[in-house]
Amino acid sequence: MDKIGIFDFGGQYCHLIARRIRDLGVYSDIIYEPSEGYKGFILSGGPGDVYSEESPKLPNNFFQDVNIPVLGICYGHQMIAQAFGGKVERGKEREYGKKIAKINTSSELFKNLKEEEQVWMSHFDQVTKLPEDFENIGETDICLNAAYQNKSKNVFGVQFHPEVIHTPSGDKVLDNFIKITGSKRDWKLEGWIEEKITHLKENIGDKSIIMAVSGGVDSTVAAVLLSKAGVNTHFIYVDTGLMRLSETEEVSNIFQDLQIKNFHVVYSEERFLSALKDVTNPEEKRVIIGNLFIKIFEEKAKELGNFSYLGQGTIYPDRIESAQPSKLANVIKTHHNVGGLPERMNLDLIEPLNELYKDEVRKIGNMLGLPKRFIKRHPFPGPALAIRILGEVTKERLEILRKADAIVTEIIEKNDLYDNLWQVFPALIPVKSVGVMGDKRTYEYMLAIRAVESIDAMTADWSKIPYSVLEDISNQIVNKVSGVNRVLYDITSKPPGTIEYE
């Protein structure tokens, strides 16, 4: 297959670029050094700055050795300008969020775009002087060199992020770059399934796996892949006591319906609540949950027999936000099944989906014949309700949040909004406020409702749920959930916020 290489400079969206290119039909992978066999290179963004010695740099003589089209994005855009003798400086103003860019539509990179396009910016530094033989093809009110090209060398740069959904015509920009590279569009997800099943068979052989499952789409698809590979797997569900209302019963029914054998439930509420007592730091919570989670698996493995592997439904966004696989990325938050793993494990990891994004996992689930209700189920974090309770996790707070969560889900489904949302859930804010109920003063918790729309969880917009639905949610929570007297609605997108609160 033709392929495009994505240079990883530590940007949170590096793998999102790769996924977008794959979506457009061309195979892409993450690289750190140039090599033969690629039709084009894309240089990702990153948290560094080009004038710092510690920041990642282009390989020596990069543009002397590379004779294929190159596109720089954000930090990559700045690196190219500096490499050719341009100037990069700290801007007078930061530029974060949605902006309007004026672009030169005569450029091959911007073919079939409008002269003014909404783009997503996330930078402070900017290119203040273009290199010789480079021409400006885009600007915003703050960034005068928001895009450039060198036609003779087929080198392009954009300060904005075409890979995120907040740049509506971003796919057109990437599609145009693919056309510039002359790549054939022969990447198909169906081939990935066959290759993955074969890979699992060959690499696992007659060894045994103990597989972490939650009933969510990720672990369910991973479980089906392992089942189709015919490898010996025991599927373990840990009831941490941090789950949603009736979660354990629902998950058990899911695996029974899928006729997946060797499904075990481990009840561990007291152990998790004890371990989390007095803990308020979000990262500490995640690590505690992750460590105990794996410890319980190891205990269950010894009880059931000899296992060589621990299976998990880890996907790419989990790894990216935990700064894996790139050691250059800043840690946003540690995911329970990535950064929370103990340094010394008795089991090796099997993660069938760790190269995929959520929408790809759902497509694979559909190809594998999973019921739509499983495929469309909203993501639920591994640490469960523990990271939707800001501050200490207690049994009382968990009970409040469980009841509120059930109410939110019921109302959203009743109004046919569930399938339009990426996630919707309440979070408990450990701050009390004064209210009045039945002519009496109350002093109780606040709940924040979080509802977002997204394609892959890398970016997300807050959802404009109708006021009548929000009113119904608020009224029912306040009337039916003891301990809450105020309901808030979160109108923060990702970025700058994350989808979950901790």
The residues annotated as belonging to the active site are 74, 161, 163
Burial of 295 (0-12, 13-18, 19+ CB in 10 A): middle
| Residue 329 falls in which region: left (phi positive, over 0), alpha (psi -120 to 50) or beta | beta
Q: Return the C-alpha torsion angle 323, 329, 333, 337, nearest 10.
A: -10
476 vs 65, 429, 435, 481, 486, CA distance in Å? 65, 18, 16, 8, 11
* CA–CA gap between residue 340 and residue 319 (Å, rounded): 11
| Element holding 476 (H helix, E strand) | helix 467-480
CA–chain centroid gap for 15, Å, is 10
Q: Return the C-alpha torsion angle 280, 286, 287, 290, nearest 10.
A: 140
Q: Are 294 and 309 in contact (CB under 8 A)?
A: no
Q: Return the C-alpha torsion angle 288, 291, 296, 297, nearest 10.
A: 140
- DSSP letter at 328 equals T
| Element holding 44 (H helix, E strand) | none
Closest CA to 425 of 205, 232, 207, 245: 245
274 vs 2, 279, 393, 420, 458, CA distance in Å? 53, 10, 10, 38, 33
